[in-house]
């Protein structure tokens, strides 16, 4: 196991290995998302309160979950890169940030599209989750701005890693402080005592979408890390061989 992880941290090995697993991630993710979309739109019954408008959760919930997930991945890989000086994990952190920002944006847009028929407004400042999601987007923007401002890659990696960790400490505090306001948002429905408060015809498509989004996120992340690694290792011999021969390193 450790040997496998050690090998994976070497850029050429990662480059070869990721080429093999990206199609699997993309394939499984696509199947799940296609099933989830169909079942969510056609098989799941309308909600007795929200009508058909609830169906946006099939995009909203996976996007919101991935916006948190991407930040955790970013912060954990930044910490690994800072502590054990593994170059690949800095590349992962750099690749995760724009994806996380995009899913955060998606969660915000779908949330406000849902909010218009439900609450009657596009934006509700009193809702803690919308607000903390917006602050999450600002955190991503700050991280990417810092990275873009530093030309030296090594320095940008370390500086943005410190910022990601400071942000990671602050994320729970930000959530808590925003929650302190009174809430309009409905409470958690999937994970709670006594099982989900949702019929299975609604729940299965949602789980499929969450899982499918995660797989597609994995494929996108690995793809971005691959280009990031190629760019960072552009002076390395294995990249030159790869470009010249058109084949992977041997």
Partner 1 sequence: MTEPDHISPGLARGFCAVIRRDIVLAWKRPGDVVNPLFFFAMVSSLFPLAIGPGADELALTGPGVVWVAALLAALLSLNSLFLSDFEDGSLDQLLLSPQPLPLLALGKALAHWLISGLPLVVVSPLVAISFQMPAQTINVMLITLTFGTLSLSLLGSIGAALTVGLHRGAALLSLLILPLAMPILIFGARTVALAAADDAVSAGIYFLAAYCMLALTFAPFATAAALRISNE
- Residues at the site binding partner 1, with contacts judged by CB under 8 A: 135, 138-139, 141-142, 145-146, 149-150, 155, 158-159, 162-163, 165-167, 169-170, 173-174, 176-178, 180-181
Minimum gap (Å) between residue 130 Cβ and partner 1: 14
Nearer to partner 1, 43 or 166 (CB): 166
Dihedral angle at the C-alpha atoms of 101, 104, 106, 107, nearest 10 degrees? 180
Q: What distance in Å separates the CA atoms of residue 94 and residue 160, rounded to the nearest whole number?
A: 9
Minimum gap (Å) between residue 81 Cβ and partner 1: 12
Minimum gap (Å) between residue 150 Cβ and partner 1: 7
> DSSP assignment of 189-223, as one string?
-SSSTTS-SS-HHHHHHHHHHHHHHHHHHHHHHHH
Nearer to partner 1, 31 or 166 (CB): 166
Minimum gap (Å) between residue 203 Cβ and partner 1: 34
In which residue are the tokens 């009174």 written? 182
Could you tell me if 39 and 208 are in contact, meaning their C-beta atoms sit under 8 angstroms apart? yes
In which residue are the tokens 């509700």 written? 124
Nearer to partner 1, 58 or 143 (CB): 143
Residues 6+ apart with CB under 8 A from 227: none
Nearer to partner 1, 131 or 214 (CB): 131
Nearer to partner 1, 19 or 162 (CB): 162
Minimum gap (Å) between residue 108 Cβ and partner 1: 14
């Amino acid at each position: 196991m450790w040997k496998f992880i050690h090998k994976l941290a070497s850029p050429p090995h990662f480059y070869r290995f990721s080429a093999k697993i990206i199609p699997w991630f993309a394939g499984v993710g696509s199947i799940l998302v296609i099933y989830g979309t169909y079942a969510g739109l056609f098989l799941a019954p309308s909600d007795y309160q929200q009508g058909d408008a609830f169906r946006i959760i099939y995009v909203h919930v996976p996007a919101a979950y991935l916006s948190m997930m991407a930040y955790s991945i970013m912060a954990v890989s930044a910490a690994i890169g800072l502590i054990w000086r593994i170059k690949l994990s800095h590349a992962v952190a750099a690749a995760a940030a724009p994806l996380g920002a995009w899913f955060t944006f998606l969660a915000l847009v779908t949330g406000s599209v849902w909010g218009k028929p439900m609450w009657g407004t596009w934006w509700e400042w009193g809702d803690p989750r919308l607000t903390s999601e917006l602050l999450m987007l600002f955190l991503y923007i700050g991280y990417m701005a810092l990275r873009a401002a530093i030309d030296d890659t090594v320095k940008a990696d370390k500086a943005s890693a410190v910022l990601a960790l400071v942000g990671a400490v602050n994320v729970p505090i930000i959530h808590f402080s925003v929650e302190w306001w009174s809430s309009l948002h409905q409470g958690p429905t999937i994970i709670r005592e006594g099982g989900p408060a949702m019929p299975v015809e609604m729940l299965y498509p949602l789980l499929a979408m969450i899982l499918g989004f995660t797989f597609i996120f994995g494929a996108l992340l690995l793809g971005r890390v691959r280009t990031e690694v190629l760019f960072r290792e552009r002076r390395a011999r294995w990249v030159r061989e790869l470009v010249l021969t058109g084949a992977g390193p041997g």
